[in-house]
């Protein structure tokens, strides 16, 4: 949402001066012009900000929240403008990064711990895909990492690298006896799920079978992938996760990979920055390093349980984070 800053200024001046007439005098405009701008702001936000029938001026709960935001915004803006005028030295802001959890924890963060990025000032968050895009659009983030592209005139979305989505099972899982060769067989398997795993599961089933199971037997659910790995290793069930998340556990023999067909369920990872904005000096360096880094092998030894690959078309299902 692109709010007109003039509308915010008009609203904040009305709040500060205690009325439309006094705000109009301070801003050297007519009272109807100030009233119009506040109405347009309310229309953009989809909520009433001021109770106009009340005297003195009375803000709605939404208006009170917006006034608090304006006080912080305009106060910080005033201090920044003053520092420019006084010629104060500028301190480089930390690099703000928002990444989907699987890639952020298992690929991005390890890279940030290595030179030349180990001395970089940064903040790293693992929100949902929707939140990654929102923080970029609102200017609260310098770099986003997602697996689902989105068209936006405010954003620049570029392919970064690819990952494989893999089915993991406990070490003692008898692939020859229990691994289903058709999608229907997966409806009875115990699955370990996690927040926003729908996209990952859906893409894996589409790649291997061209369709989705009618249902799924969920035995445990977690917020993050660390608990998923541990629960699969304990023998509670199977799950589908990105290969770089499973790599170490597979190499240690704590879980194993299963591939029911000769196909690979691959997934694209994208970098997201604000279009036309001046980027943080380390953004492009980090993007290039992520592109150049070779993906970690999933495992030295793989278990295949498939027959001939399905001729069904591949697709994409679900829409959340990996």
Of the candidates 123, 268, 108, the residue with the CA atom closest to the CA atom of residue 200:
268
pLDDT per residue over 262-305, tens digit each?
899 999 999 999 987 777 889 999 999 999 876 544 433 334 44
* CA atoms of 6 and 119, how far apart (whole Å): 40
Kindly report, as residue ranges, where domains of CATH 1.10.10.10 are found in the chain.
5-85
pLDDT per residue over 159-177, tens digit each?
999 999 999 999 988 766 5
The architecture in CATH of the region 5-85 reads Orthogonal Bundle (1.10)
Q: Looking at domain 163-266+298-304, which of 3.40.190.10, 3.90.1520.10, 2.60.40.420, 3.30.2310.20 is its CATH number?
A: 3.40.190.10
Beta-ladder partners of 247: none
Tokens at 103, concatenated: 């890639």
Of the candidates 11, 17, 19, 18, the residue with the CA atom closest to the CA atom of residue 48:
11
Kindly report, as residue ranges, where domains of CATH 3.40.190.10 are found in the chain.
95-161+268-292, 163-266+298-304
Predicted confidence at residue 82, as pLDDT, reads 77
- Roughly what angle, to the nearest 10 degrees, separates helices 31-45 and 20-27? 110
- Roughly what angle, to the nearest 10 degrees, separates helices 243-251 and 225-233? 40
CB 305 within 8 A of CB 256: no
Predicted confidence at residue 228, as pLDDT, reads 96
Predicted confidence at residue 178, as pLDDT, reads 57
> Can you list the residues of the chain whose pLDDT is less than 50?
296-322
For 49-80, give one letter per residue: b (16+ CB within 10 A) or e. bbeeeeeebebeeebeebbeebeeebeeeeee
Whole-prediction pTM = 0.63
Predicted confidence at residue 289, as pLDDT, reads 94
CATH 1.25.40.10 applies to domain 95-161+268-292: no
């Amino acid at each position: 949402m692109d709010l007109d800053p003039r509308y915010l200024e008009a609203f904040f001046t009305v709040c500060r001066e205690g009325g439309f007439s006094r705000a109009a005098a301070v801003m050297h405009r007519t009272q109807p012009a100030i009233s119009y701008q506040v109405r347009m702001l309310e229309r953009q936000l989809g909520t009433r900000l001021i109770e106009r029938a009340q005297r003195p001026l009375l803000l709605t709960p939404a208006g009170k929240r917006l006034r608090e935001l304006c006080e912080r915004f305009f106060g910080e803006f005033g201090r920044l403008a003053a520092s420019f005028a006084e010629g104060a030295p500028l301190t480089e802001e930390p690099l703000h990064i928002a990444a989907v959890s699987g890639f952020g924890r298992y690929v991005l963060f390890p890279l940030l711990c290595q030179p030349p990025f180990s001395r970089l000032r940064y903040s790293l968050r693992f929100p949902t895909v929707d939140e990654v895009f929102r923080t970029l659009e609102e200017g609260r983030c310098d770099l986003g990492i997602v697996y689902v592209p989105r068209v936006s005139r405010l954003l620049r979305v570029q392919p970064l690298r690819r990952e494989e989505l893999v089915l993991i099972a406990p070490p003692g899982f008898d692939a020859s006896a229990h691994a289903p060769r058709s999608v229907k067989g997966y409806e009875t398997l115990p699955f370990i799920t996690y927040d926003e795993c729908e996209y990952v599961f859906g893409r894996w089933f589409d790649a291997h079978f061209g369709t989705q199971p009618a249902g799924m037997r969920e035995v445990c659910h977690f917020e993050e992938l660390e608990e998923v790995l541990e629960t699969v290793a304990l023998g509670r069930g199977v799950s589908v996760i990105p290969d770089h998340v499973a790599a170490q556990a597979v190499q240690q023999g704590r879980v194993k990979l299963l591939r029911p067909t000769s196909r690979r369920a691959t997934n694209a990872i994208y970098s997201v920055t604000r279009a036309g904005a001046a980027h943080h000096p380390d953004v492009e360096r980090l993007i290039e390093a992520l592109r150049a880094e070779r993906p970690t092998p999933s495992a030295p030894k793989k278990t295949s349980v498939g027959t001939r690959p399905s001729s069904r078309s591949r697709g994409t299902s679900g829409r959340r984070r990996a």
